[in-house]
Amino acid sequence: MRRAEALATAADRTAAAKLDEAVGLARAIDLDVVNSGIVMLGQLRPATYLGKGKVEEIAGLVKSSDVGIVVMDCALTPVQQRNLETEWNAKVLDRTSLILEIFGRRARTREGTLQVEHAHLTYQKSRLVRTWTHLERQRGGFGFLGGPGETQLEADRRLIEERLAKIENELGKVKRTRELHRESRRRVPYPIVALVGYTNAGKSTLFNRMTQASVLSADMLFATLDPTLRAVNLPHGARIILSDTVGFISDLPTMLIAAFRATLEEVIEADVILHVRDVSHEDAEAQLADVEDILRQLGVDPHAPDGKPALIEVWNKIDRLDPAERLRLANIAERRPQAERPILVSAITGEGIEALDAAIEERLSAGRVLIELNLDPADGAGVSWLHRHTEVIHKAVDDHGRIAMTVRAAPERAASVKAKFAH
């Protein structure tokens, strides 16, 4: 009896976790979620997926709250989607459509955009095929070709295939020039810190928390870039660019994996990766394994000593833990070697953020070289060159009227800086 109850509770929690994730995904494209709930399914209705009573109940909700979009966290056939849209007089998105919508908005590179379109078309194509086989079966099996339905479907499919072939061709070209782009991106003088982690782990909340305190959040240079990139001043003077990324999604449909990876490409260029984890989540361990798996596929070893990029695990939402669990995690963290020590934070309350800032600064300075320079006061061009190409830590006029500057740069740049200002 006890056991049965416990199982039931565990199942409820899983459903609740899935619902949380779906709500998080909807928020990721700025939807205002007015209602959410779990539907118990008796049997699947081919025409509407849900049973009649449920369809009517939701129709009432849609009407009374003036809802424009209903998200169903499942896979719908085109027919089901169309029927529900008619019943509810609202747009209906299934899980894959919602995820594609997010990827589409967040793709920053040409490759990302192409990969997302590729996934979109592949999805559409698979749905065409499904309807087609369905029709075939309805009409009594194989060999029954011809008729207006099939012709249209065949034409649709051919159009999609042509477009897919074009995209694949272009993707090949884009990949060949990718390295070049990466080099030009590297001219940004500040180190890049990228936030990765599951949807709902708290990446955006942490991003806001870290940029909020910074006087640089309205930095002119970056204000025009997309809102997921911000320049931030860390307490000890290091200046970074913080980059929020598309979150990981549990049970990501296979055909979306390439598109997802493309949206994460920029992570490889980061100097530091913050892996944000919701340690209060029941699936925290499985999520950890998923994220590390994808990072490895991108060529990032999450446990490499002196790894480039360096990776810091951020154990978020500690405010949700009871004192015993919090202590247990703090002890585990404490026992790890310094270079791999996770930082416990709450992005909501701000607890642990200073320790996180310090850990980032430490990782950054580990790989970068400090250079002391002494410039002629008339050398305005030199000063601005340094501001563009290095991280200026300190600048003052010394007793002899010369400009003393302390700058920090990646080792590969340090030599050219020293050569330029040697005297």
Ligand X SMILES: Nc1nc2c(ncn2[C@@H]2O[C@H](COP(=O)(O)OP(=O)(O)O)[C@@H](O)[C@H]2O)c(=O)[nH]1
Binds Mg ion (CB under 5 A): choice among 81, 204, 243, 245: 204
Distance CA 215, CA 368 (A): 24
* 56-64, 116-124, 204-212, 287-295 -> range binding Mg ion (CB under 5 A): 204-212
- Residue 122 or 316: the one with the smaller Cβ distance to ligand X is 316
- Cβ at position 238, least distance to Mg ion in Å: 24
For ligand X, the closer CB: 301 or 351: 351
Q: How near is the Cβ of 280 to ligand X at its closest, in Å?
A: 7
281 binds ligand X (CB under 6 A): no
Nearer to Mg ion (CB atom), residue 21 or residue 391: 21
Interface with ligand X includes 346 (CB under 6 A)?
yes
The interface mask with ligand X, positions 360-389, x = CB under 6 A, is ------------------------------
Query: Does 199 engage in binding with ligand X (CB under 6 A)?
Result: yes
Residue 342 contacts which entry, ligand X, Mg ion, none (Cβ below 5-8 A, type-dependent): none
Question: Which of ligand X, Mg ion, none does residue 20 bind (CB under 5 to 8 Å by kind)?
Answer: none
Interaction residues for ligand X, span 236-255 (CB under 6 A): 247
Q: How near is the Cβ of 31 to ligand X at its closest, in Å?
A: 13
Q: Is 263 in the site for Mg ion (CB under 5 A)?
A: no
Binding residue for ligand X (CB under 6 A) from 204, 214, 245, 263?
Answer: 204
Peptide linkage before 78 cis (omega within 30 of 0): no
From Mg ion, ligand X, none, interface partner of 348 (C-beta below 5 to 8 A by class): ligand X
Secondary structure of the chain in HEC code, one letter for each residue? CHHHHHHHHHHHHHHHHHHHHHHHHHHHCCCCCCCCCCCCCCCCECCCECCHHHHHHHHHHHHHCCCCEEEECCCCCHHHHHHHHHHHCCEEEEHHHHHHHHHHHHCCCHHHHHHHHHHHHHHHHHHHHHHHHHHHHHCCCCCCCCCHHHHHHHHHHHHHHHHHHHHHHHHHHHHHHHHHHHHHHCCCCCCEEEEECECCCCHHHHHHHHHHCCHHHHCHHHHCCCCCEEEEECCCCCEEEEEECCCECCCCCHHHHHHHHHHHHHHHHCCEEEEEEECCCCCHHHHHHHHHHHHHHCCCCCCCCCCCCEEEEEEECHHHCCHHHHHHHHHHHHHCCHHHCCEECCCCCCCCHHHHHHHHHHHHHHHCEEEEEEECCCCHHHHHHHHHHCEEEEEEECCCCCEEEEEEECHHHHHHHHHHHCC
Tokens 């030599």 sit on residue: 415
Q: Which of 322, 399 has the CB closer to ligand X?
A: 322
Which span sits near Mg ion by CB under 5 A: 14-22, 88-96, 199-207, 378-386? 199-207
Q: How many residues bind ligand X (CB under 6 A)?
A: 17
Greatest Cα pair distance in the chain: 96
Q: Residue 48 touches which of Mg ion, ligand X, none (CB < 5 to 8 A by kind)? A: none
| 287 binds ligand X per the rule CB under 6 A | no
Q: Given the structure tokens 């698979």, which residue do they identify? A: 126
Contact range with ligand X by CB under 6 A, out of 110-118, 202-210, 305-313, 361-369 = 202-210
User: Which x/- pattern, by CB under 6 A, does the window 66-85 give for ligand X?
Assistant: --------------------
Residue list 101-130, contact with ligand X (CB under 6 A): none
Min. distance of Cβ 199 from Mg ion in angstroms? 7
Q: Which residues bind Mg ion (CB under 5 A)?
A: 203-204
Q: Which residues bind ligand X (CB under 6 A)?
A: 24, 197, 199-205, 247, 316-317, 319-320, 346-348
